[in-house]
Structure 1
Amino acid sequence: MPILSEFDLDIPYLNREGSKEDYEKNWKERRMRFRDEVRCVASLLERNFEKYKTEDCWKVLVECVEDMKDNNNEHKLVGGVSHVKVGLNIDYYFNLHNYEKKLLIYKLLEKGINIVIKEKEWDKKPFQRMYQKVSDCNYNNQWIWNKPKKSPNRKYIAEVSCEHNIDNFKVSIIIKNKAKEIVKEEKIIEERPNEWAFAQHFGSLKWFSSNEVALIDKKGINTYSIQI
């Protein structure tokens, strides 16, 4: 049985009379920006979800359309992905401030997911717990990547802090002493807020000496280090 573990939003190109040139000129860039911006909330939902066994679905994709008159909100299943449509004025969305965008993204995801829950008669409780956890953290997507690592002389502990925002993804290295007081904190990476862009940076955390620590990317090519 598949395990439901992913949620996402999209603004598909639905212009029946449109051409490839029209898509490239008038829609592609907006769609990419939207897909980047929604990930800070979508991934927060994913990380706070307990995973859920289903008969046929591993992902819910909520498609935002401007005109719901020609689109019903019943979901369809394609390759294990449940597609469901909700209404959204995309110009209104892009004119919002970042925190307002977070709230709207959350509401759109919640609305779409709840449609699928009702249609498929899933247990509501795991989803309600997920919604509550996301609300409790005020929609702020911050976490510590992997496990903290002690310095060779055992005096310090380094950890990698991640901050996933609407318009960027920031990575910092934080160094603490034995009393867990912050000795140094430095931003080392700022990337597009999409997993396809930032996941490559997370390979390993390594101390080069007792006063220098670095995050090394997955390919072992790029090194982002700080010194005490």
Structure 2
Amino acid sequence: MYLKEFDLDLPYMENDKKIRMIMNEEKCQYNEATKLDYEMNWKEIRRQFRLETRCITAMYERLFSKIKIKGCWKILVECVEDITDERVRQYSGVCSVQVKFNFNDFSNNSEVGKKETTLNLLMEGIEKISQENNWEMQKFREIGLQIEEARYLNEWLWKKAIKKPR
């Protein structure tokens, strides 16, 4: 497999208090209330986080020339308030790891601050996965430096001009 994708995720964190409140209001079971809580209170936050971090993860992917790595085509960094699992997990070619993250600090940050944080989170996750799998980190660090040198601006030019059909 070729490692070619990098992504950050903000996994759902159950809020027991909110879920109990939904259970009382909607007269439903815990599982259904959890689904409702996700839909009402978390789904949009997760989507917004993905949109705000995708600029840097996409830039990292663009600058990264794929390398052949056994069993891994994607690195997924789960940004969590409290790390509940220190392991590097691997499912269907996706290497996943948790890193400590404060969402409130992130959302109150400037656009450049968010991009810096995104790159730091991504690099921290890559570092953990690389150590676990004995990968050489140099290539990964070089991409991080290129992003910093570009001042976090994800700009590129098309190789050929697009022509209109006649």
> Which TM bucket (shorter chain)?
0.7 to 0.9
How far apart, CA to CA, are the structure 1 residues paired with 2:88 and 2:130? Answer: 10
Amino acid at match of 1:134: I
Task: Check if 1:101 corresponds to 2:114.
Answer: yes
Q: CA deviation at 1:72?
A: 3.0
Instruction: Tell me what 1:40 maps to.
Output: 55
Unaligned 5+ runs, structure 1: 149-204, 210-228
How far apart, CA to CA, are the structure 2 residues paired with 1:108 and 1:96? Answer: 14
The answer to whether the Cα contact below 8 Å between 1:85 and 1:112 also exists between their aligned partners in 2 is: yes
Matched residues, number: 150
Instruction: Tell me what 1:83 maps to.
Output: 96
Q: Structure 1 pair 16/78, CA: closer, same or farther in 2 (3 Å)?
A: farther
Query: Could you state the TM-score of these two structures normalised by the residue count of structure 1?
Result: 0.62
Instruction: Tell me what 1:92 maps to.
Output: 105
Q: CA deviation at 1:117?
A: 0.5
SS of equivalent residue, structure 1 residue 82 = strand
SS of equivalent residue, structure 1 residue 142 = coil
The answer to whether the Cα contact below 8 Å between 1:6 and 1:60 also exists between their aligned partners in 2 is: yes
SS of equivalent residue, structure 1 residue 73 = coil
Larger radius of gyration: 1
How far apart, CA to CA, are the structure 1 residues paired with 2:45 and 2:127? Answer: 26
Instruction: Tell me what 1:118 maps to.
Output: 131
SS of equivalent residue, structure 1 residue 7 = strand
How far apart, CA to CA, are the structure 1 residues paired with 2:107 and 2:73? Answer: 29
Amino acid at match of 2:78: E
How far apart, CA to CA, are the structure 1 residues paired with 2:159 and 2:78? Answer: 32
Partner deviation per Cα, 1:109-132 (whole Å, 9 max, x = no partner): 000011000000012221122122
Instruction: Tell me what 1:60 maps to.
Output: 75
Higher relative contact order (CA 8 A, sep 6+): 2
Which structure carries more helix by proportion? Answer: 2
Query: Could you state the TM-score of these two structures normalised by the residue count of structure 2?
Result: 0.84
Q: Structure 1 pair 91/16, CA: closer, same or farther in 2 (3 Å)?
A: closer
Amino acid at match of 1:46: E
SS of equivalent residue, structure 2 residue 160 = strand
Which structure carries more strand by proportion? Answer: 1
How far apart, CA to CA, are the structure 2 residues paired with 1:91 and 1:77? Answer: 29
Instruction: Tell me what 1:73 maps to.
Output: 86
Unaligned 5+ runs, structure 2: 20-33
Instruction: Tell me what 2:163 maps to.
Output: 206
How far apart, CA to CA, are the structure 2 residues paired with 1:99 and 1:46? Answer: 19
The answer to whether the Cα contact below 8 Å between 1:7 and 1:45 also exists between their aligned partners in 2 is: yes
The answer to whether the Cα contact below 8 Å between 1:4 and 1:53 also exists between their aligned partners in 2 is: yes
